[in-house]
Chain A
Amino acid sequence: MGSTSEFSRRDLIKRAVAAGLVAVPAMSVLSACASGDSGDGKQVDKGQKSAKNPLAVNESAPLDVVIFDGGFGQQYAKDAEAEFTKAFPKATVKHSATQKIQSTLQPRFNGGTPPDLIDNSGAEQMDMGTLVGKKQLTDLNALLDAPSFDDPGKKVRDTLRPGVVEMGQFDGEETWILYYAYTVYGVWYSRTNLEKLGAQYPETWDDMLKVCEAAKKKGIAGWTYAGKYPYYLPFSLYPFIAKIGGVEVLKKIDNLEPNAWKDPAVKAAFEAYYELYKKGYILQGTPGLTHIESQTAWNEGKALFIPNGSWVENESKQTTPKDFRMAVGAPSGLDKSDKMPFGTLWASGGEPFIVPKNAKNPQGGMELLRTMLGKKSSQNFIKSVSSLTSLNGGTEGLVLPSGLASSQEALAKAGKNVVNPRIQDWYVALQKEKIGVGALGEMMAGRLTPDEAISKIQKYADDTAKDDSVKKYKHK
């Protein structure tokens, strides 16, 4: 009548082996590219240098631009490209936009034919340390020393916000990256929701606890955060550490110095945050929320404060009530012995633009960046995506949305006291999955004490310092 067949099973086992191996060939499709040659490296001839063309762009050479099509979209780049072709009518601009930066561009880097300008951003960002280490990028100092777009008497370098140039440097004097957007990190809140409690943004930690207690009595949580991506916590925690112990503490952390995390300022900051958990001020279920879910809960008024960056205004647009009056606060101070004043803030560049070393038209790539850093393109960016750019100022005459206006105020208040921890772009794995998910997330969920979290992080940092497969950087 029938027989239980041996045949199909054997066949299946073979398939099992094959399917399990998909990972191997998938890697190899990439490897195939590695054996390609590094390109002929031929660049277009330089054009005629003039006051209008300080970078000596070849006026008829095509320009190849790849933009990360993420939170900021791509229209701002298209608009700037239109400005570029106005100045160089004979040039054609090839514009492409993608969310998959790495998968699109990795083969082109390996083949030696990368584009002229890249917005290397998003989840598929190519590792900057590796690109720099393998000498794949063009030094942008030529651009920074060129006259700025609006004022020929000023170098581009001198029109940028503080810290932007340094962020693009790694070991030496070369500037490899130009961050176009400018992000303000901190404790985000709704002015309306605080007023409902009769409270103001707390400038000290004692006041912070009082506000949280008042909220708790009304069934509102003090804090929530992106529990699934706990590396959002540092956005307010790191400047808090700097405020308590001075910016040196963060520099030691960035430099992976032994016992950097054992600094008393770190312990004090961790204990303060842990108290939020202990006193029940964290929104129930926060450790299982994504950034969007936590922002939505915050928009709904379930929690008062959330550590975040200035992109949150654009990102949570859909769920933000009209009368929310979003604002950002600098970390509340711990006590009078804090080394830095209230207002100390983390702000830094976002949207890293790079010009590859093997680009055909590197001058063109830099010229487009110079155009984008002009007031016209910059304002266009601010208006359309409600984020600041690296161009210092540039907001005159614009009506800013609530959160952006508050970012601007916070920056003005911070003045010189802007800190910029580098660990998140120098050591991504350490910052995100180890410190963030492995320790901070665990501590805020109550599964580690501050002391345990600190020891765990110190060990992670020491392991990274010893790991010679990770390129190391130091503050100058």
Chain B
Amino acid sequence: MKKIGVGSHMQHGKYRFIAGFLVLPLTIYGVFLVSPFVQAIYYSFTDWTGLSPDFSMVGFKNYQRLWNDDVFWKAVGHNVLLLLVLPLITLGLGLFFAFMLNVGGRRRKNAAVAGVRGSGAYKIVYFFPQVLSIAIVALLFQFAYNPNSGAINSFLSGIGLDSVRPDWLGDPGLALWCVMAVMVWSNVGFYVVLFSAGMSSIPRDFYEAALLDGANRFQTFFRITLPLLWDTVQTGWVYMGIMALDGFAVVQIMTVGPGGPDYSTEVLSYYLYTKAFRDGQAGYATALGVALLIVTLVFAGIVMKLGRRERLEF
């Protein structure tokens, strides 16, 4: 009897022990993550200004306004475009560079596969932008894009292309692409390193076998490297997706207006910021936040769906 009693007591004690560990993190999670989410959704149904404690419920008014807001749809469009293009270019370049650094070189005597000459140095160079804060990167590019005395147009003049001196950030047709270029530049190095790590875990004998069968570099990449790296690539896609849904810093620091010219670089996060902090419309801004949440959920859903793929054992 006594023994059982002790046992159940101990069982009980074990749960309390575990619960004791979980109370703190769960409370922190609840207070700082769950409750703000719920509150944000609540405030999106109010006309709160963000500048005084009084506000009233307005039902779906903020959402109706959202639906009819051209700028909002423009921002969504830009975020979706970023979501499609950014990962494609960044990961594509990252894969290409990583491949060249690891297996793309000429065959040498002692190794079946090797990177291009000087690949060690390239790896470090590619990683440089990752070390700089995004604010500095955006400022540097702002100078480079200066249409009158910036590096890019000076270079164009230098090679005799004096007639082609675009306004870069000042041109609505180019501005968003300028923003994307900066985001690609600052991120590609990370993926080179990530994919290099992934590639180094692919067994060399696969490459040797492929080379013996007469495969060229192009074939080795698409038949061996890419399939075996697929999960890492997807990881990268998710990360880049996060970048694409944000884009706030680059847009705010670099672009015309900011957000322009003529709303050509407006993104959801920046629009939310202007509504909350410039126009005193925190209620509407929280509604924008909720819209951003929905876009994110849809993105995550799609990635999960596409991500279901057979695993390769090797």
- Which A residues are within 8 Å of any B CB, using their own CB? 1-6, 8-9, 12-13, 15-17, 19-21, 23-38, 102-103, 106, 109-112, 124, 126-127, 129-131, 133-136, 227-230, 283-290, 293, 297, 302, 428-429, 432-433, 436-438, 441-442, 445, 447, 469-470
Contacts and interface: CB of A to CB of B under 8 A. Distances in A.
A84 B258 CA distance: 40
B313 interface: yes
Given A17-B296, A24-B36, A127-B278, A437 B257 contact: yes
Contacts of A29: 36
B208 interface: no
Interface stretch (B8-16, B50-58, B121-129, B216-224): B50-58
A321 to B, nearest CB: 17
A28 B299 contact: no
Interface of B: 32-33, 35-37, 39-43, 47-55, 65, 142, 145-149, 153, 165, 167-172, 201, 203, 228, 230-232, 234-235, 238-239, 241-242, 245-246, 255-257, 259-263, 268-269, 272, 274, 276-282, 284-286, 288-290, 292-293, 295-297, 299-300, 303-304, 307, 311-314
Contact of B147 (A284, A302, A441): A284
Interface of B is mostly: helix
A138 B289 CA distance: 33
B261 A109 contact: no
Contact of B36 (A31, A131, A284): A31
A428 B278 CA distance: 8
A324 B257 CA distance: 29
Contacts of A12: 235, 238-239
Contacts of B282: 27, 30-31, 34
A284 B239 contact: no
Contacts of A25: 32-33, 36-37, 40
**Most chain A CB inside 10 Å of its own CB: which residue of B146, B280, B303:** B280
Given A1-B203, A25-B32, A106-B50, 14 more contacts: A15-B242, A20-B293, A21-B37, A27-B285, A28-B36, A110-B52, A130-B50, A135-B52, A227-B167, A228-B170, A285-B170, A289-B170, A437-B259, A469-B65
Nearest to A127: B280
30 contacts: A2-B201, A9-B238, A13-B303, A13-B304, A16-B300, A20-B299, A21-B296, A23-B272, A23-B288, A23-B292, A27-B43, A27-B286, A27-B289, A34-B55, A106-B50, A109-B53, A126-B51, A127-B279, A134-B49, A227-B167, A284-B147, A287-B256, A288-B171, A293-B146, A429-B279, A433-B257, A437-B261, A441-B260, A442-B262, A469-B284
A37 B54 CA distance: 9
B235 A27 contact: no
A445 B261 contact: yes
Nearest to A1: B314
Given A2-B201, A4-B228, A227 B170 contact: yes
**Most chain A CB inside 10 Å of its own CB: which residue of B42, B48, B165:** B48
A343 B231 CA distance: 70
A25 B29 CA distance: 12
Contacts, number: 255
A304 B35 CA distance: 57
Nearest to A133: B49
Contacts of A31: 36, 39-40, 42-43, 48, 282, 286
A301 to B, nearest CB: 13
A285 B153 contact: yes
Given A4-B311, A23-B272, A288-B167, A32 B146 contact: no
Nearest to A21: B293
Nearest to B232: A4
B295 A20 contact: yes
Contacts of A5: 231
A280 to B, nearest CB: 14
Contacts of A8: 235
Nearest to A17: B300
A20 B293 CA distance: 7
Given A20-B296, A429-B274, A134 B311 contact: no
Contacts of A447: 172, 262
B260 to A, nearest CB: 4
A109 B293 contact: no
B53 A112 contact: yes
Nearest to A439: B262
Contact of A445 (B145, B167, B288): B167
B261 to A, nearest CB: 6
A228 B169 contact: yes
A52 to B, nearest CB: 35
A110 B35 CA distance: 19
Given A288-B146, A437-B261, A30 B231 contact: no
A22 to B, nearest CB: 8
A223 to B, nearest CB: 13
Nearest to A37: B53
Contact of B256 (A4, A27, A103, A227): A227
B298 to A, nearest CB: 10
Contacts of A286: 147-148, 170
